[in-house]
Amino acid sequence: MSIRRNDGFSLVEAIVVVVIIIGIATVGWYVYNRHKSNNNTTDSSPSSSISYKVAGNRIIGPNGQTYMPSAITLFGLAGAESDWSSTIQSDINKINAIASFWHVNSVRMQVQANLVNNNTPGYLAAIEKEVSYAESKKLNVILCAQYEYTKNQQFPTIGTDQFWQKMASIYKNDGRVWFDLFNEPSLGLKDVGGSEANLWHLWKYGGTVTKGTFVGMQTIVNDVRATGANNLILAEGIYGAKSLDMVSNYQLTGGNIVYVIHSYLKPGFDSPSNWDTDWGNVSNSLPVFDDEFSEHEGPQSSCRPNAPTLVPTLLSYLSSHHIGLGGWTLSNGSMIRSKTNYTIPTQFNQGVTYTCPRHYVTGPTAQGAGQDMLNFWKNPDNSTQI
């Protein structure tokens, strides 16, 4: 029996029409709210729209303003093949502390180029995991080719170049990843006939000397750019990144180049006049970043008995020259006073003599620059927050 309303529609037909209307409204509501949610949510995934560039002697951030880089170095993935896999969780824990406590905007990851080139099982995936995790915590990532823990390679080689071609191909669409080409180039004057000009020429162009054949920074930059990657490239100076004194005569071409120093307070590199000559004056015309520094009690040559007064002098100098700072590292006795709590900075204890003993001092009495560095980074003029 058909039941009809006065307008000629059956009850069943009317019900169908109502269901259709409700369905259309539901879909529209979902699309609207999904669009609204996407517009109000910050996407932490890599994006080609996030980019950094160099203009004059400054780094310019995605917002068009001067960007002051700051970082803490992790070295877990730079270890030998038998060691690196056991450090991943520790690195993740340190990334959490870096993001939540230390007021820096980047994590600098030292990695073992040979393990990437040799396709060591799981190694590249470990790098990608840590990069992705750091970015999810709104940190930029500086990848750094490190050889100290596995072989005594003092300058880049063809293997270094091959490594960067591979990494550039992976991260060329992620402007939040920067490329620190080689940690602390350490060939000296005696390796190039006693001429600093020769050392800088080798640094830029490469060549063969008594210790082997090396690839110049310019070759690596060219090959990185050939992949289509326009990521910031960091080039560390000579003498283990202590000096950029002649870099103005050996500037790298290719754009978006930042020149790097490590301001460890070694003799001859530990005064404002030294800093002027080696990198301070350069920073007036080229972008300079101090991406690795630490001061702590121990037998290392950079330990200075006058550190409690010298470190503040250095940090003030960096700030006045608009040079960002990177710290080495969240290890017991270096920047922190614990093996597992990464938020207890070392500090200089008033009334307690600062010494440079034959052993590294660790634990709750360890003195060092950790707290001074934290205070430096808390100043937004010294560390752009992202």
Residue-range definition of the domain harbouring residue 222: 58-378
In whole angstroms, give the CA distance from residue 10 to residue 367. 87
In a domain, 15, yes or no: no
In sequence order, what are the beta bridge partners of 15? none
Q: Which of 101, 113, 263 lies closest to 184, judged by CA?
A: 263
In a domain, 178, yes or no: yes
Residue 17 one-letter amino acid: V
Confidence band, pLDDT 50/70/90 cuts, at residue 15: very low
- Give the count of beta carbons closer than 10 Å to the beta carbon of residue 317: 17
- Total domains, the chain: 1
In a domain, 234, yes or no: yes
CATH number at residue 94: 3.20.20.80
Mean local confidence (pLDDT), 290-318? 97
In a domain, 349, yes or no: yes
Q: Is the peptide bond before 329 cis (omega within 30 degrees of 0)?
A: yes
The tokens of 274 are what?
């030294």
In whole angstroms, give the CA distance from residue 130 to residue 215. 28
Distances (CA, A) of 53 to 139, 176, 319, 374: 17, 11, 21, 26
Q: What is the pLDDT of residues 78-137, one digit of tens each?
A: 987 778 999 999 999 999 999 999 999 999 999 999 999 999 999 999 999 999 999 999
Kindly write down the DSSP assignment for every residue of 13-79, as one continuous string: HHHHHHHHHHHHHHHHHHHHHHHHHHHHS---S--TT---EEETTEEE-TTSSB---EEEEE-GGGS
- Give the count of beta carbons closer than 10 Å to the beta carbon of residue 40: 7
Q: Which of 283, 274, 312, 276 lies closest to 295, judged by CA?
A: 312
In a domain, 41, yes or no: no
pTM for the structure as a whole: 0.88
Contacts with 198 (C-beta within 8 Å, 6 or more apart), sequence order: 192
In a domain, 129, yes or no: yes
Q: What is the pLDDT of residues 318-362, one digit of tens each?
A: 999 999 999 999 999 999 999 999 999 999 998 999 999 999 999
In a domain, 24, yes or no: no
In a domain, 106, yes or no: yes
